[in-house]
A and B are shown apart, each in its own frame.
Chain A
Amino acid sequence: MSYEVRLDIFQGPLDLLLYLIKKNEIDIYNIPVALITQQYLETLEWMKSLNLDLAGEYLVLASTLLLIKSRMLLPDETPEGGTGDEEAGEDPRQDLVRQLLEYQAFKEAAIHLDGRPWLERDVFKRGAYPDLPPVGVEEEELAEVGIVELVDAFRRIVSSLEREELMQINSEKLSVTDRINEILEKLREAGQISFLELLEGARDRRRIVYTFLAILELMKLRMIKAYQTGPFGPIRIFPAVEEEADGA
């Protein structure tokens, strides 16, 4: 098994070129192509030696630089011996400079975006639980829920947790049996419980998965039944056996 270290130091060849221009305190409108090309190629060598994944775009720009460098060496004259203002000849660096300036503008725009007050990073709206059913929804017709709907709901809940807790190392001792007993306990107390409530407070993935497995197991054993008010509606879980059969 080989490990490839990927360091995204530069966002691309233009980013590297801008970096070199800044480092050398060069006027972007008057780039000393020979110097920059040399440094650019040296950086590519260095990145290669670090085993960095060198995208083909870096090499394309290298050849562009070499082409500009060779053009700069040619005497500045137009073969047609043109007259007027066009006769001055185009600076071979012009296209590249335009591209660099354009890229730089977007790089600044990206930094500006990053600096804005992001929702859910810097600013927050009022917290609302997305799936909590309004009271009264229960009066709607309940349809029994199968595995597919359950898995779907499970997936939605897990994805709503995002990845923020992935790094947590969980030392809580837990087993599916424990969760089964906890769920049965809650059902005895409340008579019914929503899928979401069961997962409430479960911050780590393992607990969520165990809860889900426990529910599946209980459904298989026909000890609980799950109902839903409609597509994507909240799923509610009821004990499948009547109270009198409880001690059996």
Chain B
Amino acid sequence: MEHDKALIEALLFAAETPVTLERLREVLDMPREAVQAAVLELMQEYQERRGGFTLEEVAGGIQFRTLPEYGTWIRKMKGRGPASLSPAALETLAVVAYRQPIVKADIDRVRGVDAGGTLKGLVEKKLVRIVGRKDVPGKPILYGTTRRFLEIFDLQDLSELPTLREFGELAE
């Protein structure tokens, strides 16, 4: 067990993207339960260690990540300013995230403005992608969020997003 745990730790350390349990199971040829148990134990150990990084569940996989409170210093070391999205882009992204798959016209309607520019920017940043076409006249493009969106925003999956505040049930 200790050996398995060390082995899995090594794999996670060397990986460049979040590693799924499935992938670990494939590589190690171990039962899924054993992999899962070892991963959970590792996650707990890093949590208890209170070091500069922890093992996090992200985008359906597991990845080592630094703690948010050290972000300022890491950015300083890497010589870069904080990444950011404009409020308009964040709004468009939020609408796509919660309402996907969604056509541009519906994003425009929710936001009350033309979302074309921000949508294009989000597609370029690979946070949003085209997921298909709606089966209505004109076959408008349907948009959805990407796996990278989950990775960037530290989400395990879309269900991890908090529920939208209730609206629309007035005058019922």
Contacts and interface: CB of A to CB of B under 8 A. Distances in A.
A110 B162 CA distance: 11
A125 B66 CA distance: 7
Given A116-B154, A125-B65, A99 B112 contact: yes
A148 B161 CA distance: 44
Interface residues of A, number: 46
A102 B168 contact: yes
Contact of A106 (B85, B155, B164): B164
B12 to A, nearest CB: 9
Interface string A15-28: 10000000000000
Contacts of B64: 125-126
B114 A128 contact: no
Contacts of A165: 79-80
Nearest to B13: A126
B37 interface: no
Interface string A148-175: 0000000000000010110000000000
A74 to B, nearest CB: 19
A11 B91 contact: yes
A164 B76 CA distance: 12
Contacts of A47: none
Given A101-B167, A101-B170, A126-B13, A110 B112 contact: no
A14 B114 CA distance: 12
Contacts of B154: 116-119, 123
A120 B155 CA distance: 14
Interface stretch (A35-43, A90-98, A234-242): A90-98
Interface in B85-112: 85-88, 90-91, 93-95, 97-98, 110-112
Interface in A82-119: 90-91, 94, 97-99, 101-114, 116-119
Interface residues of B, number: 48
Interface string A57-85: 10001000000000000000000000000
A110 B152 contact: no
Given A98-B170, A101-B168, A120 B112 contact: no
Interface in B109-143: 110-114
A8 interface: yes
A203 interface: yes
Interface of A: 8, 11-15, 29, 55, 57, 61, 90-91, 94, 97-99, 101-114, 116-126, 128, 162, 164-165, 203
Interface of B: 13, 16, 56, 63-68, 71, 74-75, 79-88, 90-91, 93-95, 97-98, 110-114, 151-155, 161-162, 164-168, 170-171
8 contacts: A13-B113, A61-B112, A98-B170, A109-B162, A110-B93, A118-B154, A123-B65, A125-B16
